Amino acid sequence: MVTHQGIAMARITRELSATEVEKSKSGDKPKHLFDGKGLFLLVTPKGAKWWRFKYRFNGKTKTISFGTYPEVSLADAREKRNAARKKIAAGIDPGEVKKAQKAAAFALTENSFEIIAREWHTKFSSSWSPCHADTTIGRLLLDVFPVLGPRPIAEIKAPELLAMLRRIESRGALETAHRVRTICGQVFRYAIATGRAERDTAADLKGALPPYKKSHLAAITDPKGVAPLLRAIDGYQGSFVVKSALQLAPLVFVRPGELRQAEWAEIDLDAAEWNIPAERMKMKQPHLVPLSKQAVAILQELKALTGNSRYLFPSGRSFARPMSNNAINAALRRMGFDKDEMTGHGFRAMARTILDEVLQVRPDFIEHQLAHAVRDPNGRAYNRTAHLAERKKMMQTWADYLDKLKSGAKVISLQHQGE
């Protein structure tokens, strides 16, 4: 004879079948389908099916989840239950183990190289030039994140970092490989400072890459070569905006990024001055560029076209962006000057060489106008208006000299000076 107690015990200890689990339906209230030894399937009114494990530990009743069906099958749920029961028998709370595992997984995700690198970039890029900020994140996106991005930064070892750098080197970009190693080192050091890494793995690779020789940017510095360049610029058949930038470049000899991102708000045509704010300068100091009569004339003509734009030299696609950082070099190539002959940065070397060796201008005036780190006899950095009268005279003398070269005035090659 079967007692009522026996029927109840049979109901509790009977195991579920795979068919019962699959065909279980939702109702108005949550349903509990018991499999035995603490495991049950919770079917919610919305039809979701959750595996739950109920157990007692240190006198307290607890429940943990094993996931949802069908992602976790009946057999999988039983396996998880058996593993949890073994932990309980060994005096280990499976719920606390799960919490620790979840916290560890979260920590690994939050401490991935990409998360920390983006955090570092956001924190410091506001003090960089826009060009440098864009270049830095671009190198991370192209070469580093696809390989090391998901990895916990504290687990990245020197061999895997070197393997990533070797891939960059293999495409003929050795200088970029060195620069990427430097960027990675900055990220590692930021992780150390914020308590998420213990060592700079990039520092372990010092000497691991072949050295590269930094080449000087090509420039025409002999007056005999400058004259045809200036005439070619005046005859440029491309965009008027690019032509204006080309014409202004030798007159102001600022860095290419400073030129292409020039804003009308910085230009005072009445005072014949261009005031570049500190945040756009390499040395992070405001810079004043005296404008010659020739430079003012170029800007007055340009203003009729781009004066409603933020930028002097807006992109051909949108007035909201400056022209491409390759626009000047592309125009020089179009005019027949290859990369080993002349670059946009070369106008600086041109001015520095000829102002010094031909026009005999004081070197400190030249260096200050180039926005180099010039200091006074007491070691203080010159301010933006230092020697302003002399620099204004120098810039006008320089512009007049370039006009004479264009018009065909007789010039002596630097190779023959002093003979």
Q: Are 377 and 246 members of one domain?
A: yes
Q: Are 246 and 379 members of one domain?
A: yes
- The whole-angstrom separation of Cα 241 and Cα 248 is 11
Q: Are 303 and 406 members of one domain?
A: yes
Tokens of 141: 């996106």
The number of domains in the chain is: 3
Cis peptide before 256 (omega within 30 of 0): no
Sole residue written with tokens 């396996």:
79
User: Residue 318's pLDDT is what?
Assistant: 84
Buried b (16+ CB within 10 A) or exposed e, 108-140: eeebbbbbbbbbbbeeeeeebbebebebbbebb
Q: Are 272 and 401 members of one domain?
A: yes
**Residue 1, in any domain of the structure:** no
Question: Which long-range contacts does 127-134 make (Cβ < 8 Å, 24+ apart)?
Answer: 127/279, 127/284, 129/257, 129/279, 129/280, 129/281, 129/282, 130/261, 130/280, 131/257, 131/261, 131/325
Q: Are 380 and 315 members of one domain?
A: yes
Sole residue written with tokens 């991935």:
112
CATH of the domain at 183: 1.10.150.130
Query: What are the beta bridge partners of residue 63?
Result: 54
- The whole-angstrom separation of Cα 234 and Cα 313 is 17
In terms of DSSP bridges, do strands 31-36 and 49-57 run parallel, antiparallel, or are they unpaired? unpaired
Burial group, residue 289, by CB count within 10 angstroms (0-12, 13-18, 19+): buried
User: Residue 202's pLDDT is what?
Assistant: 94
| H helical segments located in 54-172 | 74-89, 94-110, 113-124, 130-139, 145-148, 158-170
- The whole-angstrom separation of Cα 68 and Cα 77 is 9
User: Residue 26's pLDDT is what?
Assistant: 86
Short-list 181, 197, 179, CA closest to 189: 197
Q: Are 320 and 404 members of one domain?
A: yes
DSSP 151: S
**Residue 393, in any domain of the structure:** yes
**Residue 104, in any domain of the structure:** no
Q: Rounded to the nearest 10 degrees, what angle do helices 158-170 and 174-193 cross at?
A: 150
Q: Are 153 and 296 members of one domain?
A: no
pLDDT, tens digit, for every residue of 264-313?
Answer: 999 999 999 999 998 888 877 899 999 999 999 999 999 999 999 999 99
Q: Are 159 and 248 members of one domain?
A: no
At position 396, the amino acid (one-letter code) is Q
Task: Give the helix/strand (H/E) hosting 273.
Answer: strand 273-276
CATH of the domain at 20: 3.30.160.390
DSSP 198: S
Burial group, residue 275, by CB count within 10 angstroms (0-12, 13-18, 19+): middle
Question: Which long-range contacts does 168-175 make (Cβ < 8 Å, 24+ apart)?
Answer: 168/143, 169/209, 169/210, 174/209, 174/210, 174/212, 175/212, 175/214
Last residue of a domain, one of 155, 177, 205: 205
**Residue 255, in any domain of the structure:** yes
**Residue 268, in any domain of the structure:** yes
Q: Are 251 and 386 members of one domain?
A: yes
How distant, in Å, are the alpha carbons of 47, 148, 163, 382 from that of 177?
54, 15, 11, 36
Interacting residues of 335 by C-beta distance below 8 A, sequence separation 6+ = 232, 233, 236
Tokens of 283: 């040395």
With a cut of 50, which residues of the chain have pLDDT below it? 1-12, 414-419
CATH of the domain at 316: 1.10.443.10
The range of the structural domain enclosing residue 69 comes to 16-82
DSSP 334: H
Strands of the 287-290 sheet, one edge to the other: 267-268, 273-276, 287-290
Burial group, residue 256, by CB count within 10 angstroms (0-12, 13-18, 19+): buried
Give the global pTM.
0.53
Q: Are 128 and 243 members of one domain?
A: no
- The whole-angstrom separation of Cα 382 and Cα 366 is 13
Q: Are 351 and 289 members of one domain?
A: yes
**Residue 265, in any domain of the structure:** yes
Last residue of a domain, one of 174, 205, 236: 205
- The whole-angstrom separation of Cα 72 and Cα 47 is 15
Which residues are part of the catalytic machinery?
255, 282, 345, 348, 372, 382
Alpha carbon 63 to chain centroid, angstroms: 46
- The whole-angstrom separation of Cα 415 and Cα 222 is 8
**Residue 7, in any domain of the structure:** no
**Residue 374, in any domain of the structure:** yes
DSSP 314: B
Last residue of a domain, one of 143, 175, 205: 205
Q: Are 359 and 246 members of one domain?
A: yes
